[in-house]
A and B are shown apart, each in its own frame.
Chain A
Amino acid sequence: MSETVVSTTGWKPNPRAARRRRADHLATAFGMVMAGILVLVLASILWTLLSRGLAGLSAAAIMKPMGPPGSSSGLANAIVGSLIQTFMALLMATPLGLGCGIYLSEYGTETNKFASCVRFVSDVLMSVPSILVGLFVYQVLVAPFGHFSALAGSVALAILAVPIIVRTTEDMLRLVPTSMREAGAALGATRWRVTLSLCLRSAKTGVLTGILLALARVSGETAPLLFTSLGNQNWSFSLNRPMASLPVTIYQYAGASYEDWVQLAWAGALLVTMGVLAINIAVRVSARRG
């Protein structure tokens, strides 16, 4: 890195090279510092979550339903409620998202106005604030029926999941080389066959990742559930009635002034995070093996 060089060797210092090297050092330091900060902050979050969550986590917290403060209550109905609503949401969102993604990649050519319109709308939907989706579903599925319902909550979550699935499906299908499609067609496969058995199959991992990203996104969503499935202090398995969910319960309990509720909120937060992380890790492992 010596900037001063004896000129008798015939080699002259090149100011541009020196400048480039300096910029490189600066950028290197910048990258390292930024990575360090980010890792530290994220570690701090995980640490807070673990230390506070484990303190509140117990068998009772998982097995018992919610209750008034001071009554050794738990989160069981919220956990089950979350599972039901998330599952329902994915059940609705996956076929729709896959269909739309396939349409965009296989039929949505450059000249197809409808496809570019849908592509744009899907992008917009992806960035639509989740609370607005909650408001929308409130107006469509809650206000006309006069009561909150788990179904409304699931629909709100599904609306959030669809654009993610659409985007990844389209992107992943586009990565499938044209030669593969041509090979399929040359073997006499019809177009839907080529799409489903060749393209979708070879893009399987990516598409699954999209569905999982969607699952990860919706399973922790609180805002769209506030005005749709509302939350419930008691057990409820009916899709037609308000249903508790873990995120909403966390929201209600975290701001409470009862110590045991705050503890339960941290336990719930830990559960949600661990659930989301576990799904992600499982997918990664299976993707690596497959």
Chain B
Amino acid sequence: MWWLKLPDNARFSSQSPSRMTLATATQPEEARDKARVSHAGSRRSGPDTAFHLLVAASALLVLVVLGGLVVLMGVGGSQAFRTFGLGFAFHDVWNPVADIYGAWAPLFGTIISTLIGVAIALPLAFGTAFWLTTMAPPRIAAIIGTAVQLLAAVPSIIFGMWGFFTIVPFMAQTVQPFLSHHFRHVPGIRFIIHGAPFGTGLMTAGLVLAVMIAPFMTAVMRDVFAAMPNMLRESAYGLGATRWDVMWRVVVPWSRTGMIGAIVLGMGRALGETMAVTFVIGNVTAVGWSLFAPRSTVASLIALQFPESPAGSLRLSALLALGFILMLLSFASLALARMLRGDTK
């Protein structure tokens, strides 16, 4: 808002002393904003107005794109919502042969695999960022920090291939036989590890997702931690705080917003991740608590079944409705982050 109080060229020549006074910091914020509103458009030079309009138009276009996304997804899915009602979201049969569709199986897969992914990635990312910013020797920190940042840029399909050729066999040949041998009869765990050792499933998907979002979250967290003024850190050390005290009581509160942003962005990526998951989820539209049985997620189901769905069919509509629900999910996660951040806007 500073520019409103500053005279531009024209006003210098008009010699209006009252307008030339600089706003002081003591001037109330509202008054300054009012001054801005009353001033808008009246005394601005031509290029300035054009520039304002241009950038405002870009902003509007971004708005229109998201609006179009939501509307088209909703309209496309309306046929499925009309046919199956709101129960569509919680109906657990997805049967293209009988033309009966319910979203619960893929939704369940999406939610659980995302939660597993974030639950594994968060300690990895936080611990690594902590190590990088406070403990690692500067040279090693620089190398590993750069490597992690670079790896955050690796496309998700690479993680999918890696999972498909490395994690899936590992799960099938090592983890699942081990688990089923030792925990098969333990109540409470039994139903989680139940299933033939295919190697695909929610756990595998969660692992791959975690590995995929961890570098990204680490990079963001490290940046956020490093952005804190050193004086705060030094003051805390000067008061006798340990490394962890500084981390937990100074750095984390200071960078809370950025950290939540990192987590939610990671979660958003995991929620809608298609390629990394499609390779390792097994693609079976079933519901169950086993983390080691083939499942499907919303994104993987759309990727696999969309090409087989003719235009205008109920199946296509059901897939679009799934997309609509997925959008709501990612919307909800963002809203949640804003709530946690204490930001009501």
Closest to A44 in B: B166
User: Which residues does chain A contribute within 8 Å of B2, judged by CB atoms?
Assistant: 178, 181-182, 185
Closest to A223 in B: B274
Closest to B156 in A: A220
Interface stretch, picked from B89-97, B121-129, B176-184, is B121-129
In the assembled complex, the CB of A230 is this many whole angstroms from the nearest CB of chain B, namely 9
Confirm or deny: B193 has a beta carbon within 8 angstroms of a beta carbon on chain A.
no
Interface size class of A (residues with CB under 8 A): 35 or more
Docked pose: A265 CA to B323 CA in angstroms: 28
* Contact yes or no, A27 B154, CB < 8 A: no
Q: Main SS of the interface on chain A?
A: helix
* Contact yes or no, B334 A132, CB < 8 A: no
A-B interface contact total, Cβ < 8 Å: 285
**Nearest 5 CB-CB pairs, A to B?**
A129-B272, A220-B155, A34-B127, A99-B58, A127-B268
User: Which residues does chain B contribute within 8 Å of A45, judged by CB atoms?
Assistant: 151, 154, 158-159, 162, 211
B124-157 to A contact mask, C-beta < 8 Å, 1/0: 1111101110111000000010111111011111
In the assembled complex, the CB of A265 is this many whole angstroms from the nearest CB of chain B, namely 7
Confirm or deny: B105 has a beta carbon within 8 angstroms of a beta carbon on chain A.
no
* Contact yes or no, B124 A34, CB < 8 A: yes
A185-214 to B contact mask, C-beta < 8 Å, 1/0: 110101110110000000000000000010
* Contact yes or no, A28 B243, CB < 8 A: yes
Interface size class of B (residues with CB under 8 A): 35 or more
A sample of 4 more A-B contacts (CB under 8 A), given A127-B265, A227-B306, A281-B150, is A45-B211, A127-B330, A132-B323, A280-B149
* Contact yes or no, B51 A192, CB < 8 A: yes
* Contact yes or no, A276 B272, CB < 8 A: no
* Contact yes or no, A190 B302, CB < 8 A: no
User: Which residues does chain B contribute within 8 Å of A163, judged by CB atoms?
Assistant: 62
* Contact yes or no, A38 B155, CB < 8 A: no
From B62, B245, B269, contact of A162 by CB (8 A): B62
Docked pose: A48 CA to B167 CA in angstroms: 12
In the assembled complex, the CB of B35 is this many whole angstroms from the nearest CB of chain A, namely 12
Known A38-B218, A220-B158: A280·B306 in contact at CB below 8 Å:
no
Confirm or deny: A63 has a beta carbon within 8 angstroms of a beta carbon on chain B.
no
B47-65 to A contact mask, C-beta < 8 Å, 1/0: 1100110111111111101
* Contact yes or no, A27 B9, CB < 8 A: no
In the assembled complex, the CB of B119 is this many whole angstroms from the nearest CB of chain A, namely 13
B203-220 to A contact mask, C-beta < 8 Å, 1/0: 000000001001100100
Interface stretch, picked from B68-76, B194-202, B288-296, is B68-76
Docked pose: A111 CA to B37 CA in angstroms: 10
Of the A-B pairs whose beta carbons lie under 8 Å apart in the complex, a sample of 28, sorted by A's number, is A20-B242, A20-B244, A24-B244, A30-B130, A34-B123, A38-B125, A42-B151, A99-B58, A100-B55, A107-B52, A118-B59, A121-B66, A128-B66, A128-B272, A129-B271, A129-B274, A129-B327, A132-B327, A136-B73, A139-B76, A185-B2, A188-B9, A192-B47, A213-B153, A223-B299, A255-B164, A276-B154, A280-B149
Looking at B12, B44, B151, B320, the one whose CB has the most chain A CB atoms below 10 A away is: B151
Known A20-B245, A34-B128: A192·B76 in contact at CB below 8 Å:
no
Docked pose: A116 CA to B323 CA in angstroms: 26
Docked pose: A130 CA to B69 CA in angstroms: 12
In the assembled complex, the CB of B103 is this many whole angstroms from the nearest CB of chain A, namely 14
* Contact yes or no, A32 B299, CB < 8 A: no
Confirm or deny: B262 has a beta carbon within 8 angstroms of a beta carbon on chain A.
no
* Contact yes or no, B153 A247, CB < 8 A: no
* Contact yes or no, A216 B153, CB < 8 A: yes
Confirm or deny: A83 has a beta carbon within 8 angstroms of a beta carbon on chain B.
no
User: Which residues does chain A contribute within 8 Å of B58, judged by CB atoms?
Assistant: 95-100, 103
A92-123 to B contact mask, C-beta < 8 Å, 1/0: 00011111101110111111001111101111
User: Which residues does chain B contribute within 8 Å of A68, judged by CB atoms?
Assistant: none
User: Which residues does chain A contribute within 8 Å of B279, judged by CB atoms?
Assistant: 254-255
In the assembled complex, the CB of B124 is this many whole angstroms from the nearest CB of chain A, namely 5
